[in-house]
Structure 1
Amino acid sequence: MAPQRFHEQFEQIQRSMPDVPLAMGPDDSAEFIYEKGYVLVRDGEDARLVEDAVRAHFTAEPDLVQDHVRRASPRTNRSGITRIRVGDPGEGDRAGDRAVAHALRALRATEGRAGRRLVSRNHLVGITGGVNSCPGDEPAPVPPGEELNPAAAEGTYEADTAVGVLVVDTGLMHDYRSHPLLAHTEGDAQIKECDDDGVLQEYVGHGTFIAGLVAAVAPNTDITVRNSLNDAGAILESEFGEKLFEAVDAGGWPDILSLSAGTANGRTDGLLGVEAFMQELRDQRTLLVAAAGNNGSATPFWPAAYADLPEYQDVVLSVGALRSDGEFGACFSNHGGWVKAYAPGERLTSVLTGFDTPVPYVYQHSTYDACRYGFGYSCTCQSPRHTGALSEEGCTAKPDQVMFEGFAHWSGTSFATPIVAGMIAAHMTAQQESDPRVARYKMLAANAGYAEVRGAHVPALRPPTWRPVPVVPPAPRS
């Protein structure tokens, strides 16, 4: 059966959030996931205006129920937003939500007069999600004897000068300290590593893999990994801003915030759910290094796309992924002028789990016969070949199972991002630069590396210990 990756991932995420009915959007396509029955608005006068406008609009529509329209979350919170119920979340299917669509439509004229957005869907924020609502592929075991890539850089750790890197992600695997690379990493535990049969769940280990990449590139770092995202690497936009605030409140604002999660929303002005966080971030010295997403698209992906807004250009660095040889963009990587730098992001090798006892993993998504983005090299869409459980539901094909014994290969802008975060941290140490935003500009100014992405020449950041992997044509199918 041909894989339907986004639909398969949707099912997986919905299972991880059984009490939150989800839909794909916008209404005539599948570019993002959002909560059914609810919209997001700012607290205060905006919320009152939206409630009144939606009720009036629904009164004129015989099959919409104005009695559904009401506040559904606290009127005040640090993120400055509230959810408004506009319909029954249990109605309809995953193809869209008519009540939400009409609620947005009810505010179009008012938003036009105000010159700003007043209402939004409550999007699902995922580990570099969207049309490809997950990393670029699933992790693959590493052959015995193969080393980390990037390899661990030479250097010493000094507590007084270590650069603070905060990773907001899925947490840390129970055995992460089994590898000395993560000796100076701490944080939250992964929420649930294995299912009831002891099989590794999809998406787990994402935060640990990221921490390993930062530590390999920048040994003089204090890395903190938070489990702000659920075990499927997802969270609603309405909760995302609060989780970001909680993460920085727990240990203070870091030098660098590495974020490998986000969503598209069809707009060019950001996410309502993180608006307050981004405004506070702007007043700090922290640099946000954010993944550009794995949709193979030029559509802005947030929060990474804040890097293209004038008021946030100094605050955010958006990162796309290069393929394994480092010369061109990876097939899955988002691209466009809003992506400010690229780094290796295909078939990297880092820490996962299974150091003490090997852990089984069953693939969820089958590989494709050809690149789903139209590229001609042997990309992660096609290789290594495996059969996935979600792709073959209802069929007789048996999904492939592998064992993890410590390291893994994995791909995605999720992983190009911590490489760049690590390179900035290493630059801060080498140049004794205390300001991460200044370090970012100085490092990019000194960088002589470029790559080609969709015909554009773009800054390419390749760490010294990274080893390119040759690109080969796709293998013929037997």
Structure 2
Amino acid sequence: MTDKNPDDNPQEDPKGNDASWKFVDQVDLLIKAFGKELEIEPREWRTAGVDYLYRAGSVVVRDEDLPRVIRLFGGGTAHDGGISGVTQLDLPAKVPEEAPRARTDTQRFLRYADLRLGVGVVTPVHLFFVSPSVSPCPATEPEEVPAGIDPAPKGDGHADGNGVKVVVIDVGWTDAPHASWLDGVTGDPEVAFDPGTGLIRPYAGHGTFIAGVLRLIAPKTEVVVKSYFDRAGAMWEIDLAEKLTEALAESPDIISLSAGTKTRFGIPSVGLDVFIQTRLNRVNGLVLVAAAGNDGDREYFWPAASPEVVSVGALAADGESRASFSNFGTWVDVYAPGENLVNAFLTGDYECTERPNTGTIRTFDGMASWSGTSFATPLVAGLIAARMSVTGQSARQAADSLLAYSLTQSIPGVGAILRPEDALR
């Protein structure tokens, strides 16, 4: 393959705009972690914005399409796609001469397949992330809070989530003995501190914070935090489909996923779509709750945009408007508080990586304020769990009841909303 590193020709932002630089700093962290394995579309992403991120030299194909794709490409090496029904195909070294021109070999193969087989038969291996990059989640870096501040927001206390299990798919879990509301939470330990500098790593504490948000709404819910996004807060879609399948072995009622991606042409990610259709939908009552992403636009963000998934956007701190960073559109099911939430975090120093705060050292003592659809998502998952513990409904039934209620308190220009006290409405 002749694909190049996406950062070979860095470009300056002519606007000198801190907001526009923010996503550049975020994507640079992914480039550092994935190197030439990562490609970005378009090439001018530093000034034009990112459409999607994908793996160099590989594509995703449904198993039933694999033979004709290999014939068309003149070869390729098939790999297990993590779950049955989907295959990752490493592309052959030679691009067919009749393939359209494109800036990378991967794009040439994709365009060739579009022309000969139809759009969507062959798709990139998209990169999914909890890290704040092209569709950032969280929307901000963690911020310091005054000593002794209480976590917020909290549920109404009339439903506690007892008997309900939630699996959080994230960066892992860090024990927080100072946060009593997290007692009993378990999970895969995360590597939270940089071994060289001793500083808190970017996106560390994300899973712990999410577990804390959920437990404030449903304090007796069994919560398990998985450490799947342990490479700069990101992973390839094939790997995510496999890990989500593994999570089903935990027998959860709810899966909370504060991660996702935009895709080529905005069509569903094949790996996640196969998981939803052949795994998720076959477990009675199970619900996947997913973040809508933080681009502040209406473009589809997957898997939240899937009809089978409860997609969650973020309300602003005033509780009456949509957060400026939140994605929106008819595919977003509900909006919940997602700005300036306060919850458990790590203890130590953190060096900011995003402009205008790059290089600033923030010192944390076990608590933080954080914003993003990442954190509106576990709030809704907590409401579903809380309702289940009182009504006896399945997660799917409880989610449907809450979404029906959310429509009755829709805000013009925003959409359907849920608040922390709405579990039994």
TM-score range, shorter chain: 0.7 to 0.9
Are the counterparts in 2 of residues 259 and 291 from structure 1 also a CA contact under 8 Å?
A: yes
Indicate the residue corresponding to 2:270 in structure 1: 272
Indicate the residue corresponding to 2:28 in structure 1: 11
Alignment of 1:64-213 (within 5 A): 70-71=76-77, 73-74=79-80, 77-78=83-84, 80-86=86-92, 98-112=104-118, 117-127=120-130, 131-151=134-154, 154=157, 161-173=162-174, 175-213=175-213
Indicate the residue corresponding to 2:282 in structure 1: 283
Q: Tell me if 1:48 matches 2:67.
A: yes
Q: Distance in 2 between matches of 1:70 and 1:224?
A: 39
Q: Distance in 1 between matches of 2:56 and 2:117?
A: 22
Q: Tell me if 1:262 matches 2:260.
A: yes
How far did 1:14 drift? 2.4
- TM-score normalised to the size of structure 1? 0.76
Structure 2 letter corresponding to 1:185: V
Shift of the 105–13 alpha-carbon distance from structure 1 to 2, 3 Å rule, reads same
Counterpart secondary structure, 2:305 = helix
Q: Distance in 2 between matches of 1:153 and 1:190?
A: 31
Alignment of 1:184-333 (within 5 A): 184-249=184-249, 251-252=250-251, 254-279=252-277, 280-284=279-283, 285-307=285-307, 312=308, 316-333=309-326
Of stretches 422-431 and 262-271 in structure 1, the one that deviates more from structure 2 is: 262-271
Counterpart secondary structure, 1:264 = coil
How far did 1:349 drift? 0.6
Are the counterparts in 1 of residues 338 and 375 from structure 2 also a CA contact under 8 Å?
A: yes
Structure 2 letter corresponding to 1:461: L
Structure 1 letter corresponding to 2:363: M
How far did 1:268 drift? 4.8
Are the counterparts in 1 of residues 58 and 88 from structure 2 also a CA contact under 8 Å?
A: no
| Aligned with 2:54 (options 23, 34, 40) | 34
Q: Tell me if 1:360 matches 2:366.
A: no
Q: Distance in 1 between matches of 2:86 and 2:135?
A: 29
Are the counterparts in 2 of residues 129 and 295 from structure 1 also a CA contact under 8 Å?
A: no
Structure 2 letter corresponding to 1:35: R
Counterpart secondary structure, 2:107 = helix
Q: Distance in 2 between matches of 1:243 and 1:267?
A: 25
| Aligned with 1:463 (options 415, 420, 423) | 420
Long gaps (5+) in structure 2:
1-15, 95-101
Indicate the residue corresponding to 2:392 in structure 1: 432
Structure 2 letter corresponding to 1:78: S
Q: Distance in 2 between matches of 1:87 and 1:140?
A: 47
Shift of the 325–423 alpha-carbon distance from structure 1 to 2, 3 Å rule, reads same
Q: Distance in 1 between matches of 2:114 and 2:41?
A: 18
Counterpart secondary structure, 1:302 = coil
Counterpart secondary structure, 1:35 = strand
Indicate the residue corresponding to 2:6 in structure 1: none
- After superposition, give the CA deviation of every residue in 1:12-48 in whole Å (9 maximum; x if it has no partner): 1122235x521211456522211112211123x5222
Are the counterparts in 2 of residues 192 and 231 from structure 1 also a CA contact under 8 Å?
A: no
Indicate the residue corresponding to 1:375 in structure 2: none
Are the counterparts in 2 of residues 286 and 436 from structure 1 also a CA contact under 8 Å?
A: yes
| Aligned with 1:406 (options 361, 366, 371) | 366
Indicate the residue corresponding to 1:93 in structure 2: none
Q: Distance in 1 between matches of 2:106 and 2:400?
A: 42
Indicate the residue corresponding to 2:97 in structure 1: none
Shift of the 305–38 alpha-carbon distance from structure 1 to 2, 3 Å rule, reads same
Structure 2 letter corresponding to 1:364: T
Shift of the 445–275 alpha-carbon distance from structure 1 to 2, 3 Å rule, reads closer
Q: Distance in 1 between matches of 2:122 and 2:131?
A: 23
Q: Distance in 1 between matches of 2:297 and 2:199?
A: 33
Are the counterparts in 1 of residues 304 and 310 from structure 2 also a CA contact under 8 Å?
A: yes
Shift of the 261–76 alpha-carbon distance from structure 1 to 2, 3 Å rule, reads closer
How far did 1:134 drift? 4.1
How far did 1:177 drift? 3.7
Long gaps (5+) in structure 1:
56-68, 89-95, 368-386, 389-398, 467-478
How far did 1:410 drift? 0.4
Q: Tell me if 1:444 matches 2:393.
A: no
Over the matched positions of the two proteins, sequence identity in percent amounts to: 35
Indicate the residue corresponding to 1:63 in structure 2: none
Aligned Cα root-mean-square deviation (Å): 2.4
Counterpart secondary structure, 1:136 = coil
How far did 1:156 drift? 8.0
Structure 1 letter corresponding to 2:411: A
Q: Tell me if 1:420 matches 2:380.
A: yes
